[in-house]
Copies of this chain bind each other. A is one copy, B any other.
Amino acid sequence: MTGVRIAGTGHTHFGQFPERTGRDLFAEASAGAIEGAGVEREDIEALFYGNFMGELAEDQGHQGPLMAEMAGVRAPATRFESACASSGVAVREAVKNIRNGEADAILVGGAERMTNLGTAGATKALSIAADELFEIRAGMNFPGAYALMAQAYFSEYGGDREDLAHIAVKNHENALENESAQYQRAITVEDVLEAPPVAEPLGLYDACPITDGASAMVLVSDDFAEREGIDAPVSITGTGQGSDRMALADREYLARTPAATAAAEEAYADAGIGSDDIEVAEVHDCFTIAEVLAIESLGFFEPGEGIGAARAGETTRDGSIPINLSGGLKAKGHPVGATGTSQIVELASVLSGEHVNSDAVPDARIGLTHNAGGTVASTTVHILEVRS
């Protein structure tokens, strides 16, 4: 079984670009990835593409072949949708295809156009990642769902809004010099606590923004990289996926995300490592509480200890395990279908020493990405390693 290398990456600015189309955004990101890889377009054997709300935001389904066209690639194209984990799932299947010799080079990526819907429209569109029959009709939306998870966490383990605020502050700080990020702006704990409430206990700065953007990468087999002389120092060495029941009311706990734990365990076993080996990670912080749940579910901290660790600075750039050096969804932005690939693009950059924040982890060789859909009803985890 061959290894899988990240040969080139592309990323639009994340932000508010209501005048840009999804296809325009993906054209930019895919061109960056293909040209960065130095791979000929005719050598790319497939597009695996993630998108969540194209049907609602652009009246555009069937984006697989459309986005292949935008990338200038004439190869079978498949769209994956798993809510906010859409491109994470696309990456996973691409990794398996390359490992198993089904293809030598696959373009993987995602895009989302959201801000043209406005805040209320985008919030409504996002809600279709929840259970329509038993949650959406009852008035549930995602800020409300994660607020319930935060309340359950506080009730089970303790913690408060101020603890969570440290996560938002950290992620904004990490994004300060990341030119891809939607917000390159520092905030304080006070800013977070004084921000307008969204759903108790979450305020505006506990939530990631609504974002337009795209990301892409070219994944290649070891053989292909060596044959073509491609410089690709970072490999994807582990992949895992987990699913959970859709509706919060059907879960055993609200303060844990077992789909993430299942995905992480599979990815660790796949890479032949453990959670202790992870030196840096990009996790799905759609809300501050989501980052807490992630770092616990991934095994970095025991259940109930993530929030204290975050407050104590263990997840900052100077901490024991820096989390979201890109700025995370919170500050980099969250164009839903683009996020899974974006996390890998950013982490690969960190590990290869090319990221503005690489200096935070100059010796790091192993990192993890965690991409979650809905209230973590879908999760993918990927392990990235610098080859020695």
Contacts and interface: CB of A to CB of B under 8 A. Distances in A.
A59 interface: yes
Contacts of A132: 58-60
Interface string A109-136: 0000000000000000001111111001
Contacts of A64: 81-82, 243, 378
Contacts of A23: 133
Interface in A238-282: 241-246, 250, 259, 262-263
Interface in A351-386: 373-374, 377-378
A65 interface: yes
A344 to B, nearest CB: 18
A79 B78 contact: no
Q: Which of A62, A96, A100, A373 has the most CB of B within 10 A?
A: A62
A241 B45 CA distance: 11
A223 interface: no
B21 A65 contact: no
Contacts of A93: 78, 93
A76 interface: yes
A161 interface: no
A345 interface: no
A77 interface: yes
A81 B75 CA distance: 16
A65 B374 contact: yes
Contact of A61 (B78, B83, B100): B83
Interface stretch (A6-14, A66-74, A304-312): A66-74
A377 B82 CA distance: 22
Interface residues of A, number: 56
A81 B129 CA distance: 15
Contacts of A81: 61-62, 64, 79-81
A89 B80 CA distance: 10
A139 to B, nearest CB: 13
A36 to B, nearest CB: 23
A250 B66 CA distance: 11
Contacts of A59: 127-128, 132, 136
Contact of A69 (B60, B66, B246): B246
Given A56-B55, A75-B243, A62 B133 contact: no
A53 interface: yes
A179 interface: no
A97 interface: yes
A311 B127 CA distance: 50
B21 A245 contact: no
- Which residue of A136, A373, A378 has the most chain B CB atoms within 10 A of its CB atom? A378
Contact of A241 (B76, B136, B241): B76
A79 B82 CA distance: 6
Nearest to A60: B132
Given A55-B55, A68-B243, 16 more contacts: A52-B61, A59-B128, A61-B81, A61-B83, A62-B82, A62-B377, A64-B81, A64-B82, A64-B243, A65-B243, A75-B243, A76-B242, A77-B378, A80-B81, A81-B81, A93-B93
27 contacts: A23-B133, A52-B61, A55-B128, A58-B132, A59-B132, A62-B128, A62-B129, A62-B130, A62-B378, A64-B82, A65-B373, A65-B374, A65-B377, A65-B378, A66-B131, A69-B245, A69-B246, A74-B243, A76-B243, A76-B263, A77-B378, A79-B80, A79-B81, A79-B82, A93-B93, A99-B100, A100-B100
